Amino acid sequence: MTEAPSERTRVKRRHDRGKYDAETVHGILDAMPICSVGYVFKGTPYVTPTLQWREDDHIYWHGSSASRMLETCVDADVCVTVTMIDAMVMARSAFNHSCNYRSVMVMGKAYIIKDPAEKEQHLKAFTEKLFPGRWDILRPVTAKELKATMMLGLSLDEASAKIRNGPPGDDEEDYALPIWAGLIPIRTETLASTPDARNLPGLSPPAHVTSFKMG
Closest separation between CB of residue 149 and a second copy, Å? 7
Closest separation between CB of residue 44 and a second copy, Å? 5
Residue of 19, 59, 101, 119 interacting with a second copy (CB under 8 A): 101
Residue of 116, 135, 153, 157 interacting with a second copy (CB under 8 A): 135
Residue of 4, 49, 114, 143 interacting with a second copy (CB under 8 A): 49
Nearer to a second copy, 15 or 23 (CB): 15
Query: Rg for the chain (alpha carbons), in Å?
Result: 21
Give dist(CA 35, CA 25) in Å, integer.
14
Task: Look at residue 181 and give its three-state secondary structure.
Answer: coil
Cβ 150 vs Cβ 71: under 8 Å: yes
Give dist(CA 9, CA 18) in Å, integer.
10
**Under rule CB under 8 A, residue 117 binds a second copy:** no
In terms of Cα–Cα distance, which of 92, 107, 82 is closest to 172?
92
Scan residues 16-45 and list those touching a second copy (CB under 8 A).
34, 36-40, 43-45
| C-alpha distances in Å from residue 143, one per residue of 108, 122, 147, 148 | 30, 15, 6, 9
**Under rule CB under 8 A, residue 52 binds a second copy:** no
Which range of residues in 19-27, 53-61, 103-111 is near a second copy by CB under 8 A?
103-111
**Under rule CB under 8 A, residue 75 binds a second copy:** no
Closest separation between CB of residue 190 and a second copy, Å? 6
Binding mask 144-183 for a second copy (x = CB under 8 A): -x--xx-----------------xx-x---xxxxxxxxxx
Which range of residues in 16-24, 53-61, 92-100, 111-119 is near a second copy by CB under 8 A?
92-100
Closest separation between CB of residue 167 and a second copy, Å? 5
b (16+ CB within 10 A) / e for 85-123: bbbebbbbeeeeeeebbbbbbbbbebbebeeeeebbebb
Closest separation between CB of residue 159 and a second copy, Å? 13
Residue type, 191: L
Give dist(CA 118, CA 111) in Å, integer.
13
Size of the site for a second copy (CB under 8 A): 93
Residue of 16, 75, 117, 137 interacting with a second copy (CB under 8 A): 137
Is 162 exposed, middle or buried, given 0-12, 13-18 or 19+ CB atoms closer than 10 A? Answer: buried
